[in-house]
Structure 1
Amino acid sequence: MTLPRVGLVWAEAANGTIGKGGVLPWHLPEDLAHFKAVTLGSPVVMGRKTWESLPERFRPLPGRHNIVITRQPDWEAPGADVRDSLAAALELAAADLAPDDVVWVIGGAEVFSAVIDVADRLEVTALRVNIDGDAVAPAITERWRLVASDPEEGWHTSDAGIDYRFLRYETR
């Protein structure tokens, strides 16, 4: 199988935190809107814990082919397709994609770590605040180059008072 174009999308605190106790440890409506704009119309691949962290009223994520990875046989995710491996999830996601379309991996930390070395693009919402958590973002290594920042300089400030910016990375 030829791998589809793969993107990862996440928000992270300045200390790398992406989650705490199975949920986002912040509320940033601007990031949720950005996430929706990036992923809408595309397949999204996530681990079981990420699926379970989504409020029931948002499961499955509307306007996206939801694919959940789990090692638990016979586990079900109503409205989503379930696969037992990352490879099987990416194969399913690629089945109906046009050549330039992207499969978005949306979490969690274990899935990000498993796929970052074959990904083509990262969409990262960087928060200028340290937040305690138990899940951290994968390292953005020299394999990646920053291609866009919004804002280009400085930070946006959310209605919640958190400084943030949207960063796009592509492979070198």
Structure 2
Amino acid sequence: MLAAIWAQDENGLIGKDDKLPWHLPNDLAFFKSTTENNTIVMGRTTFEGMGKRPLPNRRTIVLTSDANYLADGVEVMHSLQEVLTYAESFEGITFITGGAKVYQEFLPNCSVLYRTVIHESFEGDTYFPPVNWEEWTMINISEGLVDDKNVFKHSFETYQRKAN
């Protein structure tokens, strides 16, 4: 199964200078618990923005058009089809984790979306691509806990693609 997971502000902003424009430990914990023991797929720029470190307890696939790209602890793939073929044979969930171009490329193939909405507006340069929400049904929503470490109001939403 192919799914997308991301956090955005009220305007769909997902990044600034190849990093998250906010610090929200609750969302990081949600990302970790949702993606652990599965596969995550990200573009090269996103991977390098994370310090070129694969996340523990996940298989990491870096998608790049650079045929010579190498990085420790990750698998490198070069096409949408290569990732789709992998996802079809993988028993767990293959999560698309960014950036914007990678989300746009894979969104038509996703069957589940995990979206964290941070109920604020931030400055940044990267937005999640448009989603036709008529193709999706919200199957879960929960409000995130606001506290000293998580100062922004936020909610966790899960959507499933409607049957054709």
TM-score, normalising length: structure 2: 0.92
Q: For 1:112-151, what aligned pairs fall within 5 Å after superposition?
A: 112-141=103-132, 142-151=134-143
What is aligned with 1:13?
A: 9
What is aligned with 2:20?
A: 24
Whole-Å separation in 1 of the counterparts to 2:88 and 2:139 = 25
Contact 1:67 1:93 in 2 (8 A): no
Whole-Å separation in 2 of the counterparts to 1:40 and 1:165 = 20
What is aligned with 2:159?
A: 169
Deviations 1:94-144 (A, max 9, x none): 43x22xx31101111000001111100000110000112111112232111
CA RMSD after TM alignment: 1.4
Match of 1:79 among 73, 84, 104: 73
Match of 1:104 among 76, 92, 95: 95
Paired residues in the alignment total 160
Alpha-carbon deviation of 1:93?
Answer: 4.1
* Structure 2 counterpart of 1:114, one-letter code: E
Deviations 1:64-100 (A, max 9, x none): 11111101121112110101112212323443x22xx
What is aligned with 2:43?
A: 47
Structure 1 ranges of 4+ moved more than 6 A: none
Tell me whether 86-95 or 62-71 shows the greater mean CA deviation: 86-95
Contact 2:139 2:159 in 1 (8 A): yes
Whole-Å separation in 2 of the counterparts to 1:54 and 1:160 = 21
* Structure 2 counterpart of 1:156, one-letter code: L
Whole-Å separation in 2 of the counterparts to 1:138 and 1:13 = 13
Whole-Å separation in 2 of the counterparts to 1:61 and 1:94 = 22
Unpaired runs of 5+ residues, structure 2, are none
Query: Aligned residues: percent identity?
Result: 33
Q: 1:120 to 1:87 in 2, by over 3 A?
A: same
